[in-house]
Amino acid sequence: MPELPEIRTASQIVNTVCQGRVFTGGVRKSDVSKNVEVDYSAKAYTIRAEARGKEMALTLDNKLSCSAEGSGRNVSRIIFHFGMSGRFQFTTEADVHKHAHLMFRTDETPAHVLSFVDVRRFGTWRPLTESDGEEWSAGRGPDPAFEYAAFRHNVLANLTSSVFNKPICEAMLNQEFFNGIGNYLRCEILFRAAIPPFSKARDVLQAVLAAEDDKPKKAKKSVSSSSSPDLLQLCHDLPHEVLAL
């Protein structure tokens, strides 16, 4: 299952292939997908991707929204969860993958298609409108790698949550607190931190909080202020290591 680094990489790839390209028409869904239709159509729009934890968002920007030719909403946003096998592909129309389930067609000759491909069909998407008043799904915490200060605060300020009654290996899969952390990242993080995986999460994190309280104020501002990073620092560091590979 894709984790934070894979979702971040996917967003970068989408931005690379969409750079300077204009898309046209409606967003097409495959007949077999049980996900919702995306009610969006425009004669000319661009696509921009963002990532946060295990979520990726596409923003569709209608370039003709102020003219009579623009039939789509000015900005539409689609949140993707990749499931087990979700990914994006950019191909010619003739080479669209048979498991492509959401497709965006370019306005060029020959036309190309940006497709959300999902062989196992566990992936989902959810369109957002401006009236929804949200950019990301509710119940998902800050990104450990790119919103580190907010991520760390969200965990340490909520240690009374029942989530932390569980073993640390289970708590680290809770996306409300560890957004983007999955199986391979949690295993490596716990190994490097030398923490037994079935230790009670609250005990592990209270020790992190106690150590933080003992640090000088200047050291607290640093992402990695010691030679032995704690568990939360590793949640920041490991995804960056993977992205640098």
Task: Give the rounded distance of the alpha carbon of 51 from its chain centre.
Answer: 4
Query: What span, in angstroms and rounded, lies between the C-alpha atoms of 38 and 238?
Result: 35
Query: What span, in angstroms and rounded, lies between the C-alpha atoms of 54 and 8?
Result: 8
Which candidate, 236, 235, 215, 217, places its Cα nearest to that of 226?
A: 215
Catalytic site residue from 5, 50, 54, 229: 54
- Assess contact for 55 and 147: CB atoms under 8 A: no
What burial class does residue 23 get, using C-beta atoms within 10 Å of its C-beta: 0-12 exposed, 13-18 middle, 19+ buried? buried
DSSP notation for 122-177: --EEEEE-GGG--SS-TT----TTTSHHHHHHHHHTTTTSGGGGSBHHHHTT-TTT
Task: Give the rounded distance of the alpha carbon of 139 from its chain centre.
Answer: 13
* Helix, strand, coil abundance in the chain, percent, nearest 5: 30, 25, 45
Sign of the alpha-carbon dihedral angle for 104, 242, 123, 178: negative
- Assess contact for 132 and 87: CB atoms under 8 A: no
Catalytic residue list contains 2: yes
Residue 83, by phi and psi: left (phi above 0), alpha (psi -120 to 50) or beta? left
- Catalytic residue annotation: 2-3, 54
